[in-house]
Structure 1
Amino acid sequence: MTLVAYAGNLNNRANVWVSLLAEERRRRAVRAVAEQDHAAVWELVEAFMAFRSQSGVLTSVHTLRSYRTGVRQFLEYAAEHAVNVLRPGRDDAQRYINALVAGGKKVLTVRSRVAAAVTLYKALRWAEATEANPFEETFAPQDRMHALEKVPPYQERVVRRVLAAAQERIAQAQPDELDRATAVHTLLVVLAHGGLRIDEALNLEWKDIRLEDDELRLVVRSGKGRKSREVPLSRSAVEALRAYRALPRTRKHPPRKVFPFASRSSAMYHVRPLFDEHGVTDWRGFHALRKYMGSRLYENLEDFAAVAEVLGHANVNTTKAYVRVGNERARKVLRDW
């Protein structure tokens, strides 16, 4: 019988590397790079992120997934272009960045891949496998496109059409499909009327939702930056949540969770057909619903600080990148000139 360390969560997986003596950690890191063992290299990077990064063991699954992809792609590039990972040449890192740009990668994707590669080298230096810091003097492209040009908010008519389609699906659902159909509709309402990030919505628990007449709010406890905030609920959101909560408890997901979707990809699998089937071919993702809510709220409040508080933005300038109403207001004024 062989004892194997429990690796069911980030902390336990990281402890496998952290508990090693320094020389053994260095030896394993060097061997993993030499043998192009991507899984082992990622385990080292993951351990470094858990113990040496700002978010630590609270690093989101989404971030870990993105960085793992970035580390793998850099190692594949290094193997294909004869780059010595532990002793890279002076221009190897910039050549990698240029290859990403020339390959048609979006600016945000390039910057994400570079961030993963930078973290890879931090982990290798932590393991004393190298002293190289090849990305220190590199230049990545700046994203000069306005956030609303890249992913504009859905228009009012689109949101109304999709919510109506979700309600129609509930009306036509068989008994064994009712729970899922209601979950999809409720998720869309919470996103469009509450402005939550998709991960925040999927992490909601029933204890975080107040549907009593004197409260009508929900508490986001796992937002970006690990800061909690209160979000007021619209009448439509309250009605949807009450109807969803009143369904028989036949769901297979843990009852403490509001929604049964394990990941954003799972949620998208059930939500996107509503867009595709009703002529909304320009699927912009869940974040466009968040921007829709922010824009609509600003149109009524004309207060960036208030909108930032609801959306959970630490900086009002971030909110300004979500909400663009100047052109529309100017259009209304100019129409009468």
Structure 2
Amino acid sequence: MTLVLPHADLHTRTAHLAALPPDERRRRATEAARDKDAGTLWLLAEAYLTLHGEAGALLSAHTRRSYRTGVRLFVAHAGAGAWNLLRPERDLAQTWVNELLLRQGRSIGTVRSRVAAAALLYRALRWAGATQATPFEDVVLPRDRRHPLEKNPPYSEAVLERVYARLRAGTEAAPPRTRTRWLQTRLLVLLLAHSGLRIQEALDLTWADVDLTELDLTVRSGKGRRSRLVPLTPPLAHALRAARLLPRRRTHRGDRVFSFRDRASAAYHVAPLFAQEDGDGGTDWRGFHAFRKAMGSRLYEELGDFVAVAEVLGHADVNTTRGYVRVGHRRAKRAMGTWGGSGEG
């Protein structure tokens, strides 16, 4: 028996679980854990996350999906290994982590995400009174010592110029029925590369947030629901003015600048633009965050001010911004490029 209808809205799902008598919530959670019912266990974890998580009901849809995927994969592993979820043996959690790292070759970042989801599930089971187990409390995860730019480098100017050229050519050649979608894709790429918005911030942008007089964007949907002003570059302002004049059909997106339903829909149109020119199937596509790193790196190169870059990108901690630039390497390269000596020839 499921805890609550899974297709109800988030508030209804959470309110239903919160209103259950403690004994009934414990009974249903216990049954779900016994049966390895991933769907019901996720509903329980989601309710706990919404009621007691730091972001609560304002947690981003992307983070929520990540937790959901992690819970589903963990429960599948527990089922395959015949775990007793409510009374797990002491070293099973660490064994699973080691398997992800060594046998499956998952990145440290991915494993951290999976462990976070599994730990969330156990917090939810404890909240429901189904167990007191804390199997992930002492799990050891190695530190990822790679520089953030090694894990997901920013797009280079050469790659972005190639993408811009493909967008121009595609827009000019597009028949009327697909021209609007080409223009939207072109605007999205330019927006991400020139403003550094997170992809969800870009998709949530409304025309009311675009000030073409003061040349600013008001970004309201960042992490923690903070708002910030982001300046418009001249090319981006020009593209937004042109897009503002296009006829718009009424859709479920309302007054939003983009008609893409979600990041998967946007990626469907953007990712093919990054195919490499040699035709062997290679691609330079590294996701939407590489746009953000490219913009942050470029802005720091011009400003030399981490605080200013952090404000534009919406980073609460300037140390996050530092991960976008190899400051020491760049400075050393500039300095060493001026060295002379007698070693020539």
Q: TM-score, normalised by structure 1?
A: 0.94
Alignment of 1:6-85 (within 5 A): 7-85=7-85
C-alpha contact 1:48 1:123 (8 A) present in aligned 2: yes
Task: Provide the C-alpha distance between the structure 1 equivalents of 2:269 and 2:263, rounded to a whole number of angstroms.
Answer: 10
C-alpha contact 2:88 2:133 (8 A) present in aligned 1: yes
Name the residue aligned to 2:343.
Answer: none
Task: Provide the C-alpha distance between the structure 1 equivalents of 2:125 and 2:88, rounded to a whole number of angstroms.
Answer: 13
Name the residue aligned to 1:242.
Answer: 241
SS at match of 2:323: helix
Name the residue aligned to 1:219.
Answer: 218
Shift of 1:15: 1.5
C-alpha contact 1:147 1:321 (8 A) present in aligned 2: yes
What are structure 2's unaligned runs of at least 5 residues?
Answer: 340-345
Shift of 1:278: 4.8
Shift of 1:202: 0.8
Distance 1:227 1:89, change over 3 A: same
Which digits, 9 at most, give the CA deviation of each residue in 1:257-309, with x for residues without a partner?
Answer: 11111111111100011111656722111111111111111111111111111
SS at match of 2:63: helix
Q: 1:330 aligns with which of 329, 332, 338?
A: 332
Name the residue aligned to 2:254.
Answer: 255
Name the residue aligned to 2:303.
Answer: 301
Query: Which is worse superposed, 230-239 or 253-262?
Result: 253-262
2:56 alignment partner AA: G
Shift of 1:62: 1.0
Query: Which is worse superposed, 273-282 or 122-131?
Result: 273-282
Name the residue aligned to 1:88.
Answer: 88
Alignment of 1:154-169 (within 5 A): 154-169=155-170
Task: Provide the C-alpha distance between the structure 1 equivalents of 2:216 and 2:174, rounded to a whole number of angstroms.
Answer: 29
Shift of 1:251: 6.2
C-alpha contact 1:162 1:278 (8 A) present in aligned 2: no
Shift of 1:255: 3.4
Name the residue aligned to 2:196.
Answer: 195
Name the residue aligned to 1:285.
Answer: 287
Which digits, 9 at most, give the CA deviation of each residue in 1:201-260, with x for residues without a partner?
Answer: 111111111012xx0010110101211111000001001111111111136452311111
Which digits, 9 at most, give the CA deviation of each residue in 1:76-97, with x for residues without a partner?
Answer: 1112222110011111111111
Shift of 1:164: 2.2
C-alpha contact 2:45 2:120 (8 A) present in aligned 1: yes
Shift of 1:6: 9.3
Distance 1:219 1:138, change over 3 A: same
Task: Provide the C-alpha distance between the structure 1 equivalents of 2:45 and 2:75, rounded to a whole number of angstroms.
Answer: 13
Task: Provide the C-alpha distance between the structure 2 equivalents of 1:251 and 1:278, rounded to a whole number of angstroms.
Answer: 38
C-alpha contact 1:295 1:325 (8 A) present in aligned 2: no
Task: Provide the C-alpha distance between the structure 1 equivalents of 2:61 and 2:243, rounded to a whole number of angstroms.
Answer: 27
Task: Provide the C-alpha distance between the structure 1 equivalents of 2:317 and 2:34, rounded to a whole number of angstroms.
Answer: 44
Shift of 1:5: 6.8
Using the aligned pairs only, state the percent identity.
Answer: 53
1:244 alignment partner AA: A
Name the residue aligned to 2:322.
Answer: 320
**Which stretches of structure 1, 4 residues or more, deviate above 3 A after TM superposition?**
4-8, 250-253, 277-280
SS at match of 2:48: helix
Query: Which is worse superposed, 269-278 or 300-309?
Result: 269-278
Aligned length: 332
Task: Provide the C-alpha distance between the structure 2 equivalents of 1:53 and 1:309, rounded to a whole number of angstroms.
Answer: 25
Task: Provide the C-alpha distance between the structure 1 equivalents of 2:253 and 2:59, rounded to a whole number of angstroms.
Answer: 23
Query: Which is worse superposed, 280-289 or 260-269?
Result: 280-289
Q: Does 1:106 align with 2:113?
A: no
SS at match of 1:290: helix
C-alpha contact 2:216 2:232 (8 A) present in aligned 1: yes
SS at match of 1:219: strand
Shift of 1:336: 2.5
Shift of 1:111: 0.3
Task: Provide the C-alpha distance between the structure 2 equivalents of 1:82 and 1:147, rounded to a whole number of angstroms.
Answer: 37
C-alpha contact 1:205 1:258 (8 A) present in aligned 2: yes
2:235 alignment partner AA: S
